[in-house]
Amino acid sequence: MKLTEINIILIGIVSLLGVGFYGLLITRNLIKVVMILQILVKAVVLAFVFSGKVSGNLGLGQSIAATVIVADTIVAVVGLALAVQVRRRFGTLDAPEISTLRG
């Protein structure tokens, strides 16, 4: 595979997604989960800009990316606020620990 511009960005997207999924698989701490979700979303933002560039519709890709950034910030804020509440009520941030759904 030649290291063209396109390939470098593709590798970036895939590795960001890979880091994100791997992180979600192994993380138990809620704050870390929020952080990893941010990494995942960054991969998505990059993919939007990239697909805008490839399809020749850069403006559309960029505006969608901006929208995702705004929405994602709100997700992060709500997620962190929930983590604070969980810490106060359960005294722990460990996800399996606070799970009350029993299979």
Partner 1 sequence: MANIFILLIIGFPWLGALIVWLIGDARPKIQHTFAVAFSLLSGISSLILLAFINSQPAIDLALGTSFGSLTFIPDGLAVSLTVIATVVGSLAVLFSVDYMRGEAQLGRYYFMVLFFIGAMAGLVLSGNLLFTFFFWEITALCSYGLISFYNDDPKAVAGGIKALIITQVGGVGLLAGALISYASLGSFQISELLGRADTIPTAALSFIAFSFLIAAAAKSAQFPFHTWLPDAMEAPTPISALIHAATMVNAGIYLLARFYPAFESVPGWKTAVILVGVTSALITAFMALTATDLKRALAYSTVSQLGYMVYAIGAGGVLASQFHLFSHAVFKALLFLTAGSVIHAVGTRDMRRMGGLGAKVPFARNVFIIGALALAGIPIFNGFWSKELILEVGLEHSPMWAYALMLLGAGLTAFYTFRMTWMVFFGTPRETLHIHPIGLAMKISLAVLSIGTFTTWLLFGGLNGILSTSLPFHEIEAESTLEMIKAVSFAPATWFALLVVTLGLGLFFAFGRKFALSESPAWLSTLTESSFGFEPVNRFVVSLVSNGAEKLRATQTGQLNWNILAIVGALLVVLAALVWGGAL
Q: Looking only at residues 64 through 103 of this chain, which bind partner 1 when binding is defined by CB under 8 A? A: 95-96, 99-103
Gap between the Cα atoms of 69 and 99, Å rounded: 29
Token pair belonging to 26: 């192994």
**Residue of 27, 38, 51, 62 interacting with partner 1 (CB under 8 A):** 27
Helix (H/G/I), strand (E/B), else coil: 46: helix
Min. distance of Cβ 103 from partner 1 in angstroms?
5
Q: State which residue, 18 or 91, has the beta carbon closest to partner 1.
A: 18
Token pair belonging to 77: 């804020």
Residue 47 burial class via C-beta count within 10 angstroms: exposed 0-12, middle 13-18, buried 19 and up: buried
Q: What number of chain residues touch partner 1 (CB under 8 A)?
A: 14
Amino acid present at 95: A
**Residue of 9, 10, 19, 21 interacting with partner 1 (CB under 8 A):** 21
Q: Are 62 and 52 in contact (CB under 8 A)?
A: yes
33 binds partner 1 (CB under 8 A): yes
**Residue of 15, 28, 58, 84 interacting with partner 1 (CB under 8 A):** 28
Contacts with partner 1, residue ranges (CB under 8 A): 21, 24-28, 33, 95-96, 99-103
